[in-house]
Amino acid sequence: MWNFENYSESELRLKYWLFRSLLFLLIFFTIVFLSIGLITLSIGGDDELCTESVTATVTENIKSEHIDRYNNGKLKRTTYTYAPVYSYVYNGREYSVESSNSTKPAKYDVGDTAVIMVNPENPAEIYEPGFKKLEVTSIIYIIVGVCIFLACIADIICLIRVNKRLKILKTDK
């Protein structure tokens, strides 16, 4: 792949065109994957808006059913996750908010207390420091974007070598 000495001029021109076309595609996908990864990583700034600490009581665990299908829908597996509902008082007003996070099994039992953070501007908006915020999808997009970027570098090296070989062939004529 890295040595282009045994190719004819027409083969080198074709390779040059293919590498150049591939480079544009690789650059496009690098931008797409890195953008998606960085945007999704930066979204979810509830932890920045929610600055007031409140002790809340878990009043309910809302059960959600998840069905995974395998073998063209013939086999299925049902799992359940549980999202706590928090009740708390902020500035003399009572709030009841369902968590956007769910776990299997339930992280809290009904009646447990948890420290949550609320947005002073909108006390119904909460952030739960007890839940780890895993941005796995964002990190995967960033890693794929970096890998595609490395492929861009390899492609550029190939372009330079093919171009150099084409110049040598032209001067030999």
DSSP percent split of the chain into helix, strand, coil, nearest 5: 45, 30, 25
Assess whether pLDDT exceeds 60 at residue 44: no
pLDDT number for residue 156: 92
What does the pLDDT look like over 82-104, one tens digit per residue? Answer: 999 999 999 999 999 999 888 88
Rounded Cα–Cα distance for residues 128 and 103 (Å): 13
What does the pLDDT look like over 56-79, one tens digit per residue? Answer: 999 999 999 887 777 666 777 888
What does the pLDDT look like over 119-164, one tens digit per residue? Answer: 999 999 998 886 655 567 788 999 999 999 999 999 999 999 888 8
113-119 and 52-70 as β-strands: parallel, antiparallel, unpaired? antiparallel
β-sheet bridge partners, residue 58: 86
Which letter does DSSP use for residue 85 in this model? E
pTM: 0.54
Rounded Cα–Cα distance for residues 60 and 45 (Å): 26
Rounded Cα–Cα distance for residues 16 and 10 (Å): 10
Alpha helices in the chain (DSSP H): 9-42, 46-49, 136-172
Rounded Cα–Cα distance for residues 122 and 117 (Å): 11
Assess whether pLDDT exceeds 70 at residue 3: yes
